[in-house]
Amino acid sequence: MPDIVYPPVIAFAKTAFKVLDLKFAMVGTEHVPRTGGAVIALNHISYVDFVIGGFGAQPSKRLVRFMAKEVLFRNRYSGPLMRGMRHIPVDRAAGSASYREALTQLKAGEIVGVFPEATISRSFELKEFKSGTVRMAAAAGVPVIPMILWGTQRMLTKDHPKDFSRHRNVSITVGAPISVTRQDDATEATEHLRTTMAGMLDETIRAYPEQPAGAWWLPASYGGGAPTPEEAERLDQEELARRRKR
């Protein structure tokens, strides 16, 4: 099936990047395979991670089919775009359908983008990972490509107003492919993926050209003003309780 919607969306995004004069630091993008299926596992710190994460696969000329909340597909504006780019809707009440669709795409040689944390991290450090990422890769017989994004939280994230100021630094770090098989223990493989990405995140943060003490977008463990992982978990639980009430 030809991609009619994705290319113009990419062109629009690249134009927006130029207008904003985003300064990208991209490392390891050669690890994204030019052919064949793969699962890209990304950290999740911003509502624009889909856009920036997809950009990280552009040097390999690949399109990423992201697994995203089903509500985005029902929105009158984002819905047609999400469907047109053949992203995969995730309904948490019926996750098996999205899992099957992801496997179909992977076996067809597509790259599927997954956020193992499932939700945005308020601490900007890694939350616990769901095991679906490695299970999916093992079932499809494809590698997992770890990818770290940094700087996207400064644009649009939870609990903070959007800020698309110009001249921002954005980092994309891609790690070497990780092989997973059906014989591997999913829990151990998931922990290995998380440990790998935690190391990549640390390197990416330390290499970032801005490190202002107390900055809200910098993790507490790096001298920033972001919530600690424990505080972030409390905020997540409070948000979940409010949703249940509604």
Whole-number pLDDT of residue 243: 86
DSSP string of 89-155, one letter each residue: EE-GGGHHHHHHHHHHHHHTT-EEEE-TT-S--TTSS--PPPTHHHHHHHHHT--EEEEEEESGGGT
Please give the share of the chain, as a percent, with pLDDT higher than 90: 91
The SS3 of residue 42 is strand
Whole-number pLDDT of residue 2: 74
The SS3 of residue 81 is helix
Q: Which helix (DSSP H) or strand (DSSP E) does residue 209 occupy? A: none
Calpha distance 157→148 (Å, rounded): 16
Amino acid at 86: R
Whole-number pLDDT of residue 40: 98
* Residues of the chain predicted below pLDDT 70: 1, 93-95
Q: What number of CA atoms fall less than 13 Å from residue 17's CA on the CB side? A: 16
Whole-number pLDDT of residue 100: 94
Tell me the C-alpha to C-alpha distance, in Å, between residue 167 and each of 18, 101, 208.
9, 38, 14
Whole-number pLDDT of residue 1: 63
The pair of three-digit structure tokens given for residue 176, joined into one six-digit string: 């070497």
All domains of the chain, ordered by start, with CATH?
Answer: 6-214 (3.40.1130.10)
Of the chain, the end-to-end C-alpha distance in Å amounts to 40
Whole-number pLDDT of residue 20: 98
Whole-number pLDDT of residue 219: 98
The pair of three-digit structure tokens given for residue 148, joined into one six-digit string: 């770290």
What are φ and ψ of residue 153, in 5° steps?
-65, -20
Q: Enter the pTM of the model.
A: 0.95
Whole-number pLDDT of residue 245: 86
The contacts of residue 1 (CB under 8 Å, 6+ apart) are: 86
